[in-house]
Amino acid sequence: MIHTFASMFKSKEIRKRIFFTLAMLLIYRIGAAIPVPSVNSTALSGPIADNSILSMMNLLGGGAFEKMSIFALGVSPYITASIIIQLMSMDVIPALTEMTKSGQKGRIELDRITRYFGVVLAFVQSASMVYGFDRQYGILLNSSLATYLFTATVLTAGTMFLVWIGDQISVKGIGNGISIIIFAGIVSNIPAMFAQVFNIEVASAANGAEFTGVLQFMLYVLMYLVIIMAVVIMQLAVRKIPIQYSSAGVSRGQEVTYLPFKINSASVIPVIFAGSIMTAPQIVLSFVNADAYTKVSNFLSLQRPIGLSIYALLTFLFTFFYTDLQIDPDKVAENLGKSGAYIPGIRPGNETRTYLRKVLHRITVLGAVALMVIAILPYLLPMLTTLPSSVSIGGTGIIIVVGVAMETVAQLKGQLTQKQYHGFLNG
């Protein structure tokens, strides 16, 4: 591993990409510390500490949400727009479906539509959020229509600027730009979370309770290590289906080919979906009735068994939903037939489609259960200890951090191998 990283920095182009990515992330972190004008940046500190859903939003925003900075929304509106457009392009809107089948030109057009839709969603989300939070917590210094519109516009501009930074990272840097931004935001919060837990359990412990505090802090650290190991295993777990070719010339003398199905094809998207669904009723009720908002927020709180159960169930169901969007057994079977490939012991056609669908559903059950357990595990600790909810957001964050880190390292290794291959040919 050390040799791999050393080789990466020896390559001038890869080193340039790494430094460019770091420069873009520096801009992101500076912007995350700049509060929106006319906003009380400390008004949300208390509500976020007491509300697990708001804590999750703050996590995904890298702490910018708590400060109501210009990047408070993060890239979540763009992600939501991408998911909606993807859903609409699956035989729902014929025009979008046609774009998905028209190659590179269609993908460019879909990306343009997604960005325009992302701007609309960002403005609607920012306007509703500012209005609702101002009614509940008084976050605006001047509650006027002009202030609402100005704040919403600034937050929308911040989101789209982050999308632009993500695009620049994807083209000139390393990894997927949007994922890298979310990764950087989460990583920036982790040291503060550990410091907060240490202060609560060890530094502020009463006389005679230091040993118990140390044990609880070690339990917290151990939980993180367990989650990291589980996420790594889940990301690497693959169900390999053997593939053979009908043409003897293709298969003769070659190794066995496999069709890989990841145990967790949905990644962290189901967790984000579940959080968004649980947040939506609270945002709507913030416009209608303050008492109803408080009751629903308490009911859906992830520090309560009912709210945590709903969150776990939504995560489980959305895992199946998003996996079906990502992998279509019918298309896989069709592609196998066109390439002259087949699964040993399984007839091509309908029997292959049925077999692939059965295998996909079985491994998705395993992946959904694992994802659900990892997502809710950190929230169980505050129920059993005196830790605040602000430190109980590790599951979601670790899933994202580990997943993005593994994908980025794999991409860097691929680029390094490509450079070495070209160097060998040119040499």
232's CB contacts (< 8 A; 6+ apart) are 402, 406
The CB density around residue 318, as the number of other CB atoms within 10 Å, is 21
Q: State the helix-helix crossing angle for 103-137 and 145-172, rounded to 10 degrees.
A: 140
- Is the Cβ–Cβ distance between 62 and 74 less than 8 Å? yes
**H-assigned helices in 61-176:** 64-67, 76-88, 94-100, 103-137, 145-172
> Exposed (0-12), middle (13-18) or buried (19+): which is 426, by Cβ within 10 Å?
exposed
pLDDT of 371: 85
Which CATH number does 210-392 carry? 1.10.3370.10
CA distance 411 to 246: 33
- Is the Cβ–Cβ distance between 70 and 27 less than 8 Å? no
Query: pLDDT digit of tens for each residue in the chain (427 aa)?
Result: 566 566 666 677 788 888 898 999 999 988 888 888 888 777 776 666 666 566 666 766 666 777 788 888 888 888 888 878 877 877 677 887 788 777 778 888 888 888 999 899 889 888 888 887 787 777 888 878 888 889 899 999 999 999 999 999 988 888 888 888 888 887 877 777 778 777 877 766 666 666 777 887 887 788 778 778 878 888 788 888 888 876 544 444 445 688 888 888 877 778 777 777 777 777 667 666 667 767 777 777 777 788 888 888 988 888 888 887 778 788 888 888 888 888 888 888 888 888 888 888 888 888 888 888 888 877 776 666 666 555 555 566 777 778 788 778 777 777 667 655 455 445 5
The answer to whether the predicted template modeling score (pTM) of the entire model surpasses 0.85 is no
pLDDT of 251: 44
pLDDT of 47: 67
pLDDT of 60: 65
Which CATH number does 1-192 carry? 1.10.3370.10
Residue-wise burial string across 379-413, b where 16 or more C-beta atoms lie within 10 A, e elsewhere: bbbbeebebebbbbbbbbbbbbbbbbbebbbeebe
**What dihedral angle (degrees, nearest 10) is formed by the CA atoms of 191, 381, 293, 316?**
100
All CATH 1.10.3370.10 domain ranges of the chain, comma separated, are 1-192, 210-392
In the numeric block, which tokens belong to residue 259? 């069709």
DSSP string, 180-213: HHHHHHHHHHHHHHHHHHHIIIIITPPTT-HHHH
pLDDT of 390: 56
CA distance 352 to 240: 15
Residue-wise burial string across 234-271, b where 16 or more C-beta atoms lie within 10 A, e elsewhere: bbeeebebebebeeeeebeeeeeeebebbbbbbbbbbb
Helix (H, G, I), strand (E, B) or coil at 37: coil
H/E element, 238: strand 238-245
Residue (of 394, 360, 95, 42) closest to 231 by Cα position: 394
pLDDT of 247: 58
In the numeric block, which tokens belong to residue 116? 């325009």
The CB density around residue 277, as the number of other CB atoms within 10 Å, is 15
